[in-house]
Amino acid sequence: MSIAKDFVNIYKDYLKEINNYKKTIKYIENMVRKVEKKHITATEEEIKLVEKEELTQDDEFTCNKNKIYCFSNGDKYIGKIEQNELHGQGYYIMYDNDKVIMEYIGDFQNNLREGMGKCTLENGNVYIGEFKEDLMNGTGKMVYATGDEYIGQWQNGKKEGIGIFTWNDNTRYNGEFKNGKMDGQGQCFDQSGNLIYEGQWKNNLIHGLGTYIWNEGKRYEGEFMHGKKHGKGSFYLNGELIYEGTWKFDKPSVFGRSLEEVFCVKL
């Protein structure tokens, strides 16, 4: 797949999914406001049944009515209960010594975040998207407290697959991610939207074959290693080939010497 050609449409498709999630979240938020306004609160007995770890057949509890459950550990849940577990659309807020450490609104299944939801974390990061077995899985968008933003695919709580990461200075990467890092084929753009690199990445660094473009008509095509021009490569200036050969750690190399060293040899 050509990321350069397809990423605009990919981004639009991701945004469309996220906007659909936002509509559902608004619906759940309205439900939560109504329940809180009417003070529809679960009884102490109902809360004990939800909190109970070892259950008997007589303990089975299902409530298809949205209620407020204030648990003994300080956490609060607003939603439905099925067989003593959080189930369906609801809202959960987790506390630690009266401090909010996690806020989630969305789908629940068997006490886990499962489906679609919005999660606000203690560090200020906000995620909206898909969950599976309590982890971010599928299409999702994370807005970081730093102002950075990622939209794309997630797997087991980490960025995985095709995504777009935008830094708070408006520089951008679109391409492949593995295990939460830029890894695979990708592009990088500067603040003005100009392409500055296209090629392979590994572990958040330029690595492999690629093309790097920088100021005053300079372009390098060739091999990279750990973020530096290293291996076989060509340097162009205003479209004209200037040097083709071996590079070592960002510098041209002839017989193990830089061009500066070669030119400085006294004959």
**DSSP per position, 202-246:** ETTEEEEEEEEEETTTEEEEEEEETTEEEEEEEEEETTEEEEEEE
Distance from the first to the final alpha carbon of the chain: 52
Query: Residue 262's pLDDT is what?
Result: 43
Query: Residue 240's pLDDT is what?
Result: 92
Query: Residue 254's pLDDT is what?
Result: 74
How far is it, in rounded angstroms, from Cα 246 to Cα 220? 12
Q: What are the residues facing 154 on neighbouring strands?
A: 138, 159
- Reference 131, options 145, 115, 120, 118; nearest CA is 115
How high does pLDDT run on average in the chain?
Answer: 92
Residues of the chain with pLDDT under 50: 1-2, 262-267
How far is it, in rounded angstroms, from Cα 34 to Cα 29? 9
Query: Residue 55's pLDDT is what?
Result: 84
Query: Per-residue pLDDT tens for 37-81?
Result: 999 999 999 999 999 988 888 889 999 999 999 999 999 999 999
> Contact at 8 Å (CB) between 230 and 210?
no
**Whole-model pTM?**
0.90
> Contact at 8 Å (CB) between 3 and 152?
no
Query: Residue 5's pLDDT is what?
Result: 63
> Contact at 8 Å (CB) between 92 and 71?
no
Query: Residue 226's pLDDT is what?
Result: 95
Token pair of 55 as six digits? 């259950």
Only one residue has tokens 């340097």, namely 235
Query: Residue 266's pLDDT is what?
Result: 37
